[in-house]
Amino acid sequence: MNEETIQKIAKGICQYHQNLTKQKLSQYPANLQLAVDKLVVNCLLATIPPLQGVPDFFNRWAQRALQDWDLDINCPEDWHSKSLIEEQRPSNFCVETAEDYLEEYGNFQRKVVETLRLKSFRDRNLYTKFRQYIIENPVITKSELDTTAVIDFPSLKELMQDCYEPAPESYKKDGKFYCCGHCGGLMYLKSNGDLQCENRHCLQYKKRLIPFDADNSDSVMWLKQDLRYFMHRPGKPEVRLFNKLKKLDLKEVILFPNLDTYDLHLVFPDDTFWAVDLKFWESAYNLAKKVDKPIPRWKEQPYKECFFVFPDEIKHYGNEYIQEFRSYCTVPLKKSQVMFEGAFMQKVKIKLSKK
């Protein structure tokens, strides 16, 4: 069995879950059914007990790491430890692997970014201010959202309001919403009654849950799905790194420079420019396939050096993650250009110490 079959399964899982989320109780997507049928054939050829259709696949295989499936799979090394479903929903790896679906999944996020760029053309700080607000406020009351939209973002009022939707009542525990102590995202209830963040990497920090206080007369809102995945999830480490860099003796640090040409722009005391693109992906192989060109240059302040930085949330993936990314990426990258967040901070400090 090969990589293409896994991609089709991943896409089918994502489509099916999206239909359930929208309360469209439908049949299993055709590509999922066909891919599972292919698994059944492979089981028969390998003389192992075959799957009994899609429900059996969901129950027995989809929640296990690919390396624990009963079949040999010809796929990238860093896929072996990944599963397609976590807590009854597509894993981040599953979303990444569902290639065509990943593009469709981000349609609303792209619409937000395009509208934001258009309306921020004459005031580029407005772009950064809006993005940062979204990242730092994944959960908000309706009254605060309306007030903020009118007072702080009058030219973007409708766009701001359109980024949020009512938080699901099913996420409440004992009548109250809770937010993750690490990323601030809304916690959901697991089947055993425990609360968990959508971003599973937050678990490792063991931070205290934060009750979200709201008047009974007010509504609790949260970011729409693809904004949570494409903007808030990677945005938290982007803003965190930005805030840490601002505490150093750099001449300037710019978040989302030139309407998001890349994520961070550093200006050193000697007027050297560095560019940073932070990437928060489960699979280094999947990321490498998406990075098909160098980090673009900002014409006003062209960088001397550029870096791909991975957040410390996935630091435990180790040097193998970095090596996998570099080996599959079609953009030539030196070892010194790819690293985790903590290592990048050290690199900046070393350069500053040599001034």
pLDDT tens for each residue of 199-224: 999 999 999 999 999 998 999 999 99
| Residue 139 and residue 64 in one domain | no
The answer, yes or no, to whether residue 195 has pLDDT greater than 80, is yes
Q: How confident is the model at residue 19 (pLDDT cuts 50, 70, 90)?
A: confident
Structure token digits, residue 68 = 């624990």
d(Cα 282, Cα 290) in Å, to the nearest integer? 13
Residue 234 lies in a domain: no
In a domain, 213, yes or no: yes
- Domain of 43, in residue numbers: 3-105
Domain boundary among 105, 135, 154: 105
Residue 171 DSSP code: G
Domain count, the chain: 3
Q: Are residues 126 and 213 in the same domain?
A: yes
Summarize pLDDT for 236-271 with one digit per residue, the tens.
999 999 999 999 999 999 999 999 999 999 999 999
Let me know whether 305 and 317 are in one domain.
yes
pLDDT at res. 355? 66
Q: Is residue 240 part of a domain?
A: no
Model confidence over 33-67: pLDDT tens digits?
Answer: 999 999 999 999 999 888 999 999 999 999 999 99
User: What dihedral angle (degrees, nearest 10) is formed by the CA atoms of 233, 238, 241, 247?
Assistant: -120
For 169-192, how does the pLDDT look when each residue is reduced to its tens digit (9 = 90+)?
999 999 999 999 999 999 999 989
Q: Do the beta carbons of residue 179 and residue 201 sit within 8 Å?
A: no
Q: Are strands 305-310 and 273-278 parallel, antiparallel or unpaired?
A: parallel
CA-CA distances (angstroms) from residue 40 to 35, 63, 120, 340? 9, 17, 53, 40
Asked if residue 211 is part of any domain, the answer here is yes
Same domain, 190 and 271: no
Distance from C-alpha of 97 to C-alpha of 80, rounded to nearest angstrom: 13
Query: Does 209 map to a domain?
Result: yes
pLDDT at 226: 87
Give the model confidence (pLDDT) of 307-332 as tens digits. Answer: 999 999 999 999 999 999 999 999 99
CA separation, residue 269 to residues 193, 253, 266, 307, 355 (Å)? 53, 11, 10, 19, 8
The pTM score is: 0.94
Q: Tell me, what's the pLDDT at 105?
A: 66
For residues 246 and 253, the answer to whether their CB atoms sit within 8 Å is yes
Residue where one domain finishes, among candidates 105, 137, 164: 105
* Per-residue confidence band for 15, with pLDDT thresholds at 50, 70 and 90: confident
Look at residue 24 and tell me whether its pLDDT is greater than 80.
no
